[in-house]
Structure 1
Amino acid sequence: MKRIIVVLMTLLPCFAFAAGSSVPLDKANYDLSDQASLQTGAKLFMNYCSGCHSTQYQRYERVARDLGIPNELMQENLMFIKDTKIGALMENSMSEELGAKWFGATPPDLTLVARVRGADWLYTYLRGFYEDPSRPFGVNNTVFKDVGMPHVLQELQGVPRKAFETQLIDGEQKEVYVGIRADGSGEMSSDEYDKAVLDLVNFMVYSGEPMQLERRSMGWWVMGFLVIFTILAVLLKKEYFRDLH
């Protein structure tokens, strides 16, 4: 009984972290076979996320190989910690103490975030920031209320604000929330930004399970083997018992 209680207490934080959002989530139509998307996602992660978040259960060399990036380009453009080897784990240079001091809590490792939260949650979250002067970093999030993270992709999106429209409801004119709209000051258009976020999510899904495509392919081969083996086994059984009937 004590063992069961210990296991439940250990898993409780995981259940809380994986709790669903009350906000409707947008569908993230990611594609792990799209290598160009994964490369763009890796570039975005390393340039905008890796300063605070690590993916310490991955290695640079494995990511470079899986995504078709030459080691030299990986070292030159996507590895920012001095004297880091290509075979090293993808950690960041910020200490836990400084992270807790600057953000109120240490920024978590994101290797498995897509497996815990889900791709749709990540996609909606990254597109859910909006301007909120009352918050320490000047932004809030529709999916994660009172989030303690700055909108690191704001230079790409522009300043996002909640948009409202006046609509006639039950005979009365009412202000209705219709989504988040950027002010146009970003480097990307709305469609380009959505595509960039999807590429980033694609990379995070890959990070959570680098062997996913290989596992699926292997699964089909295993199923095919089992089908052929079953047919042979049935034919062999009939041959053995043919004279008994």
Structure 2
Amino acid sequence: MSSDIFKSIDHARTADAVVLQIERLILESVLRPGDRLPGERDLAQQLDVSRPILREALKELELRGLVHSRHGGGTFVADIVGQIFAPALVQLIGRHRRATEDYLEYRRAMEGMTAELAARRATAADRAQLSALVDTMREAHGRADFAEEAELDVELHDAVGEAAHNIVLLHTLRSCYRLLADGVFYNRALIYGVPGARDTLLDQHCAIAQAVIAGDPDRARKTAQDHIDFVSKTMEEAERVDDWEQIAAMRLKQRRAPKAAKAQAMIANKEAAE
């Protein structure tokens, strides 16, 4: 972790001031779930506070569920992403096809707005992050590494969300991405199995990133919405083909069963006659 993300507290060196700084770093996604905070001595020096004040602040953050400590292992940012939806609602969403349609409709609107804002607000650091992600996606695609491609898919959308610099939008979308990664809405393996889909998805992700990097709000919105439209259409096609395959397999099994039974009966009768 970079040591320059924590700033010296110049005025009121209190636990509350420490809590506010770390809260903001979590809220702005500078600190992400699973990130390990520096050791107590180092962090106290970076913040320019006493170690008792730092301990008090970390205790308060832990009580709020924002960090957690591992015995002998340090203090880590807690995984609070995904808690916008209650577990009962997540289970309900996963059981009804209508929810997937609504999810894609919601994402189409939100992704378009997010990409447009990102194109308007992206900093040099945001653009560098997107450019690096595109390069990594191309490499993973070249290796046909499905697992890494799926992770980078979410990572790129997440980076666009960060570049939009809207905290509520970022965390709302991130919660949706978590449900997608957990397979609540649909199985991305089905989409990747459609001929040509992986190539198209890569091109679309690159187009979104390039529009944001170029600072073209209209193109960024359009490419983001076109991407969701493609996902929706391809998912429908993939599910239809999957249904066909399952039905065809059941038909084949059902039609083979009488023939197999008849063959077994003939063998049994022959053995009995002998």
Q: TM-score, normalised by structure 1?
A: 0.32
Higher strand share: 1
Higher helix share: 2
Q: TM-score, normalised by structure 2?
A: 0.29
Greater Rg by CA: 2
